[in-house]
A and B are shown apart, each in its own frame.
Chain A
Amino acid sequence: MRAYARLALAGFRRYSTYRRAMVAGMATNVVFGLLRLAVLVTAVGQGPISGYDVAATATYVWLGQGLIAVVVLWGDKHLADRVRSGDVVVDLYRPWHLQMALFAEDIGRSGYAVVVRFAPPVLFGALFFPFRWPAAGTWVVFTVSVALAVAVSFGLRFLLNATTFWLLDNRGVAALYTAATWLLCGLAVPLAFFPEWAVPIVWSTPFAAMLQAPIDVFLERGSPWPFLAGQAFWAVVVLAVGHLVLRRAVRKVVVQGG
């Protein structure tokens, strides 16, 4: 257990060395937030949509921009590259559970991202736009919700990377994944804006658990427990499937002597 805590700390440290890249990324979040907000405000300015008025929409946009880098909404390819190159063999030798080790590192990474990628856009939004702060107790629930979102996202990214064991080149799957998240996680438009018949469908995917769920908890759209339950369900499912997939994949790995 102590080893995993150390790995989490290492993840935190590793990303804190790319300080200028983080600042530049922050600027990108702000620009995209401004563009997205303009479009959505033109829509909700004509009258609130599904409970989203201008303040809720602004809060939604800035939380979304802040959470992108914390949760990670695109497929990463670190493990995929190691599978392709064969370096994964070294990772499998080590006295750890590979999935848990990577998860620990990802938790460290997301902790650092909360400081430099989440806080600045949200503060920017709160300073210059109408903003809806939640009650004090909601912050605790929101923190849990973000942690679960990171778990779901990691679980999915791990599965995505694990496909490399079979496909060797997972860029196609990764690209498809990114396209799906972009639409279904609620980054571009709140999931509540979808037509009524589509709302249950978009909420039934794990993507909703990655972004829209924590945002809805923050905006206090109804009781937070159903959101947390859904997120916990998906976190357990994707992590468990990842564990099983890894077990099968390991049997496939052939170490070429030399």
Chain B
Amino acid sequence: MAERVYVKLVGARLRGQMSYRASFVLQCVAQAVNQLAELVIILVLFNRVSALGGFPVNEVVLMYAIAGTAFGIADMVAGQLDELPTYIRTGTFDVLLLRPLGTLAQMMASDLHLRKIGRIGAGVAVLVYALDQNDIAWSPATAVLVVAAPLSGAVIFSSIWITASAICFWVVDGQELSNAVTYGSNAFTSYPATVYGPWLRRFFAFVIPGAFVAYYPSLALLDRPDPLGGPVLLGWISPLVALAAAVAAGFVWRTAVRHYRGTGS
């Protein structure tokens, strides 16, 4: 029953977005350009050096592609949470509370960013290229991992998004802070974790499980030992990490909503 309502809500939003068709197509293109800009930057750097953090260009591009695809999917599904401060400030969030549907699902369904297709498409295209360029130890297990890694990454990113957005229930103008975490983790995961210093790595790789989006799965695909000394197993557990992150995010969101009082305006 409830699912049908969500499908209808999302459908209505999609039709709305398509009404300015030229603008929509341009936005898709812009998303793809945005995604590919980071690739250009990686290539520019590798024009000057032969390795970053001990990884050659093709391996970094593989990590970037997995991270970019995962972030694109998460941005499409959860990106609407960036509007949460507006919902809280204007009192629109109270309306969501009155409806007999989950608040989180309503927020996410309130606007599905279809234009992110451009970003996801660019990510997948580069991923296919990177898989071709690298020496992947193909087996049924790695084949599953190629699909599972971006999807788990998307769940991890979405969980980060939900958790970070929940800050706004306490600090109404905390939007920029949560952006630092969400977009920051995207920037972090596009490069090997070995690039970063110990503090940044601890936070973005393990407190926020960013290393499980692209870094560890890439090591498993490339059949490379972890230069940081982690066990081989880490490359295969991203789906479990994603599940744990989703459960944690759900818990944080529920606590935050229970804490919510409305701004009174």
- Do A39 and B52 form a contact, CB below 8 Å, given A172-B30, A175-B30? yes
In the complex, A39 Cα to B45 Cα: how many Å?
A: 9
Residues of B within 8 A of A (CB): 20, 22-27, 29-31, 33-34, 37-38, 40-41, 44-45, 47-49, 52-53, 115, 171, 173-177, 179-180, 183-184, 187-188, 191, 195-197, 200, 204
Whether A183 is near chain B, meaning CB under 8 Å from some CB there, is yes
Write the chain A residue with the least CB distance to B174: A24
Residues of A within 8 A of B (CB): 18, 20-21, 24-25, 27-28, 31-32, 34-36, 38-40, 42-43, 46, 49-50, 167-173, 175-176, 178-180, 182-183, 188-189, 193-195
In the complex, A193 Cα to B41 Cα: how many Å?
A: 9
Among B20, B24, B187, the residue within 8 A (CB) of A36 is B187
B44 and A193 contacting across the interface, CB-CB below 8 Å: yes
Return 18 A-B CB contacts under 8 Å, by A number. A20-B171, A21-B173, A21-B175, A24-B171, A24-B175, A32-B183, A38-B197, A39-B191, A43-B49, A49-B48, A50-B48, A172-B30, A175-B30, A175-B115, A179-B31, A189-B44, A193-B48, A195-B44
- Do A182 and B180 form a contact, CB below 8 Å, given A21-B173, A38-B196, A193-B44? no
Least Cβ distance of A202 to chain B in Å? 10
B179 and A28 contacting across the interface, CB-CB below 8 Å: yes
In the complex, A197 Cα to B191 Cα: how many Å?
A: 26
A182 and B22 contacting across the interface, CB-CB below 8 Å: no
**Number of residue pairs spanning A and B whose beta carbons lie under 8 angstroms apart:** 114
Which 9 A-B pairs have CB atoms at the shortest separation, nearest pair first?
Answer: A172-B26, A175-B30, A24-B176, A172-B23, A179-B33, A169-B20, A28-B180, A183-B37, A169-B23
